[in-house]
Structure 1
Amino acid sequence: MQIRKSLFRQIETQRHLPTLPAILLKLIDACGQDEENLKEISKIIEHDPSLSSKILNLVNSAHFGLPNRIDSIHRAVVLVGTDTIKNIAICTSVYEVFNQTKGNSVFNLKFFWWHSLKCAMVAKFIAQKTNYTCPDEAFLSGLLHDIGKLVFWVNFPEKYRELLETCKDRHDLLLAEKEQLGATHCEVGAWLIRRWNLQSFMADSLTYHHEPKNRILNALPLVQIVYVANLLSDVKQQNKNYDIAEEFYGFSKSQVEELLSSTEEELKNVAHLLGIEIESPNDSETILSEEKRVKQEDLAHEVREFSLLTGTLQNLLQAGDKDTILRTAQQGVKVLFDIKSIFFFLYNPEKKGLICNAIEKENSSFMNDDIVIPMQADKSLLIDSLIKGKPLDSFTQFADFKPIIIDEQIIRFVNKEGILCIPMLAHGEYVGVIVLGLDQVELSHLSKHSMLLNMFSNNVALALHVDQVRRNQLSKIQSERLAASLYMARKVVHEVNNPLSIMKNYLKILGMKLSAQDPAQEEIENLNEEIDRITMILRSLTTFSEKRVRNFVSVDINVLLSDIIRIMSEYLSKYSNIKVHMDLEDGLPKTITERDSLKQVFVNLVKNAVEVMPTGGNLYIKTQHVPSYFQDESASEHKKHFGYVQIMITDEGPGIPDKIKPRLFEPFVTSKGHGHFGLGLSIVYEIIKSLNGTLSYESEEGKGSSFKIGLPIVTEQKD
């Protein structure tokens, strides 16, 4: 109700509402008086020469069959009655009010007025045959029964054109009007009749003329008359509606045929006398031109759709990764089919199910990677669609039984009446399912574009399949490169271990030559530790993908970082313009972790930061405690931890190029050029991940980079 009021206010404020001439309003008021003043009515009509001429022409026509010619308005009013005069006046005035409106191939005004007049004359005939008290009221009701369509066309031409184009039957049009505009043309027409102060039952006949038959059977006579007259005036449905006339009034088929043929010729005469241009759908020229128009419109529509499809397909071909493909596909659905609620569920062979890939941030709260629909859930509409390889909608599938809960949740989340699932397959392999949230009227519209939708989904599936093949190939190449690097690493390790052993021996001899209290003993010990660490690193290079024994100890992160900077002081001195700024939080909790692995992480990050500032700069190292107690069920080595130790290492280098950001932590990715293998950050990432920590970064070209490590504070080690 509130939506309808809002619509009516909008129509009023747009100033496109048809207003009856002042003279007609006076005439309606005068005709509605209890005691009819025929002289007053005649005087009102005589003030409008055009209206007077039309009334006299019609009164003297064969339609009324009067024995003598009538020359005065007063005599015409006396002979045919005020109701007939009022109807003639309203009919001509309404036509003139809307005559400025431009129709087109979608909304043919000549067809509209033909149908309206036909309905009016059939309604009057039924009223006379059934002894209805006021046949002229039936005539006027029939004439105005579709006036709401004109109001929509005048006030919302583009939107109503789209509705008329997409809705090919009455039921769809009524749903679309209600959904898109807020009221049906029946409701708008009735509202206008009441606004013009015409009889209330006339407004009811407009309100209910598209209601189901079983409701009309219990309605008042005028509502029934207009309902049947409208059906009999529908050329496309005439043969089907003979039974309606028999059921309501006992008319035989021959009686109905005689009625329709007799009104056809009279219809043209009345329209001519009233100055109303009409065009019958039965005219051969009209039928031919209409068929030609439909073909031209269908062809133009197909050309437009395929042009849009071609543009979308070109964008799909140019998409560089999965996310870009999905964004392009989402935009394509919006442009091609005017659907706004779109989700992609991609098949994951490892999890043997469909995983939602949320594109827009607002959808991530529910539709995210956590949602997995297993292939075993074959009662799910999504799984059923993928297995059968054909589109399925919830309106049809769930007509006889309830959906499973996950389907109900998805329908509720998309905030639509239902969903349409479109399977994506490529070369016989599962790719995923496109899920569209839509209302019944949108599904009806979409069903007319099934071929285009099928072509579109096939191309999206192919693009995603090609991207997956490409990523698999890249992974294979990386594995092969890693295997080759591993082979070379083993050879290098074998060669390097010999001089390292010699160095340790020399250090041992040097230590024996010095006294136990000599300050150099500490330096010798540090060198021994570093040689041991080098040996461990070299050994880890040869077992990059193998599990190793892990040595967890309690580590003071602040002390470890301070030792690293002290040991690297000579290395840093080569870059004399680099200043190290340490901001280490006092009382930072210790954590049980792998000391040597963590040391390798910090050395790599510090070394990277220094190397990107060859002309000098500032290096910032900061630690802080982020308190938060929770149980960690996933950690295999730990029982519980209390928050995080956060370590930030920030440089003032050139920043990370955008093109390598998505693959920054992959092996063999580097921006440093010749002499760098791109393994450092991938090793750092793998180590932090193995310690159940987090590694993130912020970088802007020209403004440096900051790497942030989060390490869980582990207080107890699992046995």
Structure 2
Amino acid sequence: MLIKKSISDQLSTLKQLPTLPHILLQLIRTCNQDNIKISEIAKVIEKDPSLISKIIKLANSAYFSPSRKIVTAEDAVGFLGTNAIKSMAICSSVYEVFHKTSTNAVFNMKLFWWHSLKCAIIAKLIAKATKFNGGDEAFLSGVLHDIGKLVMWVNFPRQYADLLKVHASQPDLVLAGESQMGATHAEVGAWLLDKWNFQSFIADSVLYHHYPLNRILHALPLVKMIYVANALSTVSNDGLADGFEAAQVVFGFTQTQVESLLSEADGELKSVSESLGIEIEPQVSKETITTESDRDRRKDLAQEVRDRSLLLGTIQNLLGAADEQAILRESYHGIQTLFDVNSVLLLVYNSESQALCGIALPEDTQFAMISDLFVPAQLEHSLLIQCLRKGKILDSFSRTSDPMPAILDEQIIRFLGREGILCLPMIAYRETVGVMVLGMDSVEYSHLSAQLKLLKMFVDQAALALHVHQLKRSQVSQLQAERLGASSSMARRIIHEVNNPLSIIKNYLKILGMKLSTHNLAQDELKIINEEIDRVALILRKLNSFSDDRVREAEAVDVNELLSDLLKITNESLLDHFNVKLHFDLEPNLPAIMADRNSLKQIFINLIKNAFEAMTEGGNLRVQTRHIAGGLGDEPLLGGPDYPGYVEIIISDDGPGISEEIKAKLFEPFATTKKDNHSGLGLSIVHNLVKTLKGTISCESALGKGTTFKIRLPIGTGSEP
């Protein structure tokens, strides 16, 4: 039996795959043994009180009409025979396995068992009429011939319900729809019976019961019986015409013989179902349909209420998140809990760089790779950018206009390790926040497609939480800028007002020193005063650099050359005081950037000096450069001549690291990890200079794990006018 690999893989991992009770499997094995004693079979049955009760009740039923009352398992086996015992036990157990399966007007379980039992009884009567010795096998095959429908209903309820709603009265179209899902119910049923180690001919009868009539003519008897029995127990638009034709062509039965057989089957059907404890329903009245439909709607409504309640709880956690990492953590948790999707990627839109930038949790094993994910808005063929621009949910499974996905999309699919991706736009108050990417297989996508409305609601709330966080951060930045502006203005006034008296004081001190003898004790005090004045001058110079907001001229700068020159200088001035080893990894042929050289010097000197000062007991300082053209990890994706990309400078040390408290406000003025009354302006100045150069700066650090600063500067653009 061949089943498409996709459905085979799905079936192998189904959560609702039915399993037969262990005692029943033991009973089947025992009954299949040659020359097995009745007492041995009875011992197996006696291990399960429920099974004993069912079999004794069955043996005493009106259907079998015993001449004396059966009271023991051994008597029941002797009276019914091993094959009948096995068939009836399997039939009853399969019913119990699926008994609690929820149904509705589309798939009525009572009607299903009515059809299955009628097929089983007709098959057994055909076996008797054709003098086939395997009447009990024919009965069992008839009971199980549609079991694949149950498996598909339990595991793919929405897909299968949609299929049955449209084509319930057209079996051929139902089969075609099942094939589109990956396998027909006949193939699934045969696969399950193989898995249960049923005799191959029984599985064959299940597999072939919808094959063309001309192919059935040359099959073995059991396959023919189930084919005809199924046709005679199925009422189509043409009544039983197909069944009469099949019975005549396959077995040569006349219409009178078939009508007699059907009459006998109808007479036995109720008795057999009652004996087996199976509830059946020959047809569904209009009143029942309405009731079932109402029940189905109530169930859907209850499910929606449960989903929304769970969503509300998750959203409350989301909106209560204190920072970006907390929002990200709650977003991941919500997607996994509500929608059972584990491959999630979140990219936020950076309006300054006009690109989607990956964000990840520090504990993520692929944190560095996700953080390096950079998707420029110019990559119009990317599904992510199309989702961002159109503000619509897009996926890689149903793209028809452009069957060839962008290389970047393929990279992300491989990175997530799934068959495809679902991209959801993150929009809040008509502002673009980013894109959430879910990695999934086609089966997961088909399940999730019915929940897109709920999924969109959740993603909208995640976008809102991120947007609120960004607004808060923007307001803080604005307050910082105003504070910096006020400080800059005050600093310029202080510098102007203080420099003159300082110069006068230094001159008078020099004159005073000249008037005193060289050995006068006051000379030492004058020296101390001079040193303190020099320290005041140093503070003024720092204020001067902090308040310097002049428009700077951009020029082509070779970043590698500039770093090499600066590191030569710092080698001479800093290595004497710090036991630090320098490591370089400068990418050859790095493109030049248009920037102000002095601003770059100030940025690099600040960061390098900070790294040295952090490693008081020695360590390693690593400086790395590389060209980024909008790629993922180690697989760059070129953006074309109109988008040359970015130069990234990474400066890292293995010092003591930075606490989360300080890191949260690292680039704010007056925030510092240093002691001895440091001003805490250095990193604020660095941040402002990088921003002026239209770049970005980020910090990765943890206590005891060192610190890494990443600066990205655009190629081919200068500073802000």
TM over 0.5: yes
Residues 143-158 of structure 1 mapped to structure 2, 5 A cutoff: 143-145=143-145
CA distance in 2, matches of 1:597, 1:522: 34
Residues 198-256 of structure 1: CA deviation (Å, up to 9, x unaligned): 4x322223356689999999976754764686688678xx55999987997899xxx9x
Residues 485-541 of structure 1: CA deviation (Å, up to 9, x unaligned): 111112211211122111331344256557999997998986786565344324223
- The 1:173–1:622 alpha-carbon spacing in structure 2 relative to 1, beyond 3 Å, is farther
1:484 paired residue among 483, 486, 510: 486
Query: Given the alignment of the two structures, is residue 120 of structure 1 paired with residue 120 of structure 2, yes or no?
Result: yes
1:442 paired residue among 431, 441, 444: 444
Amino acid at match of 1:103: H
Aligned equivalent of 1:187? 191
- The 1:462–1:15 alpha-carbon spacing in structure 2 relative to 1, beyond 3 Å, is same
Aligned equivalent of 1:93? 89
- SS of residue matched to 1:379: coil
Aligned equivalent of 1:20? 27
Q: TM-score, normalised by structure 2?
A: 0.63
- The 1:292–1:647 alpha-carbon spacing in structure 2 relative to 1, beyond 3 Å, is closer
Amino acid at match of 1:434: M
- The 1:132–1:603 alpha-carbon spacing in structure 2 relative to 1, beyond 3 Å, is closer
CA distance in 1, matches of 2:364, 2:469: 26
Amino acid at match of 2:90: V
- The 1:302–1:364 alpha-carbon spacing in structure 2 relative to 1, beyond 3 Å, is same
2:616 paired residue among 607, 612, 621: 621
Q: CA deviation at 1:337?
A: 0.9
Query: Given the alignment of the two structures, is residue 140 of structure 1 paired with residue 170 of structure 2, yes or no?
Result: no
Amino acid at match of 1:188: L
Q: CA deviation at 1:117?
A: 0.8
Query: Given the alignment of the two structures, is residue 542 of structure 1 paired with residue 547 of structure 2, yes or no?
Result: yes
Amino acid at match of 1:277: I
- The 1:99–1:455 alpha-carbon spacing in structure 2 relative to 1, beyond 3 Å, is closer
CA distance in 2, matches of 1:120, 1:260: 13
- SS of residue matched to 1:622: coil
- The 1:302–1:202 alpha-carbon spacing in structure 2 relative to 1, beyond 3 Å, is same
CA distance in 2, matches of 1:706, 1:505: 46
- The 1:460–1:410 alpha-carbon spacing in structure 2 relative to 1, beyond 3 Å, is same
Aligned equivalent of 2:434? 432
For the 8 Å contact 2:607–2:651, the answer to whether it is kept is: no
- SS of residue matched to 1:401: coil
For the 8 Å contact 2:19–2:97, the answer to whether it is kept is: no
Aligned equivalent of 2:477? 475
Query: Given the alignment of the two structures, is residue 103 of structure 1 paired with residue 81 of structure 2, yes or no?
Result: no
- The 1:552–1:524 alpha-carbon spacing in structure 2 relative to 1, beyond 3 Å, is farther
Any stretches of 5+ residues in structure 1 without a counterpart?
32-46, 61-69, 74-81, 154-159, 563-581, 610-618, 635-642, 711-719
CA distance in 1, matches of 2:408, 2:395: 15
For the 8 Å contact 1:417–1:438, the answer to whether it is kept is: yes
For the 8 Å contact 1:187–1:206, the answer to whether it is kept is: no
Q: CA deviation at 1:469?
A: 2.5
- SS of residue matched to 1:395: coil
Residues 281-292 of structure 1 mapped to structure 2, 5 A cutoff: 282-284=283-285, 287=289, 290-292=292-294
Residues 400-441 of structure 1: CA deviation (Å, up to 9, x unaligned): 823222222222222222222222223333222222112222
Residues 598-630 of structure 1: CA deviation (Å, up to 9, x unaligned): 999999999xx9xxxxxxxxx9933456588x7
Aligned equivalent of 1:42? none
Aligned equivalent of 1:205? 205
CA distance in 2, matches of 1:621, 1:511: 39
Amino acid at match of 2:196: L
1:380 paired residue among 379, 382, 391: 382
For the 8 Å contact 1:228–1:244, the answer to whether it is kept is: no
For the 8 Å contact 1:56–1:71, the answer to whether it is kept is: no
For the 8 Å contact 2:546–2:681, the answer to whether it is kept is: no
| RMSD, aligned CA | 6.2
Q: CA deviation at 1:311?
A: 0.6
Aligned equivalent of 2:337? 335
Q: CA deviation at 1:106?
A: 2.1
CA distance in 2, matches of 1:229, 1:165: 29
- SS of residue matched to 1:475: helix
CA distance in 2, matches of 1:49, 1:688: 81
- SS of residue matched to 2:370: coil
CA distance in 2, matches of 1:516, 1:248: 130
Q: Which deviates further from its counterpart, 290-299 or 162-171?
A: 162-171
- SS of residue matched to 2:316: helix
- The 1:505–1:383 alpha-carbon spacing in structure 2 relative to 1, beyond 3 Å, is same
Residues 11-58 of structure 1: CA deviation (Å, up to 9, x unaligned): 999846544379955799799xxxxxxxxxxxxxxx999679749944
- The 1:227–1:457 alpha-carbon spacing in structure 2 relative to 1, beyond 3 Å, is farther
For the 8 Å contact 1:191–1:203, the answer to whether it is kept is: no
Aligned equivalent of 1:279? 280
Query: Given the alignment of the two structures, is residue 505 of structure 1 paired with residue 507 of structure 2, yes or no?
Result: yes
Count of matched residue positions in the alignment of Structure 1 and Structure 2: 604
Q: CA deviation at 1:543?
A: 0.6
- The 1:533–1:662 alpha-carbon spacing in structure 2 relative to 1, beyond 3 Å, is same
For the 8 Å contact 2:119–2:143, the answer to whether it is kept is: yes
Q: TM-score, normalised by structure 1?
A: 0.63
CA distance in 2, matches of 1:476, 1:587: 37
CA distance in 1, matches of 2:86, 2:388: 60
Q: Which deviates further from its counterpart, 485-494 or 539-548?
A: 539-548
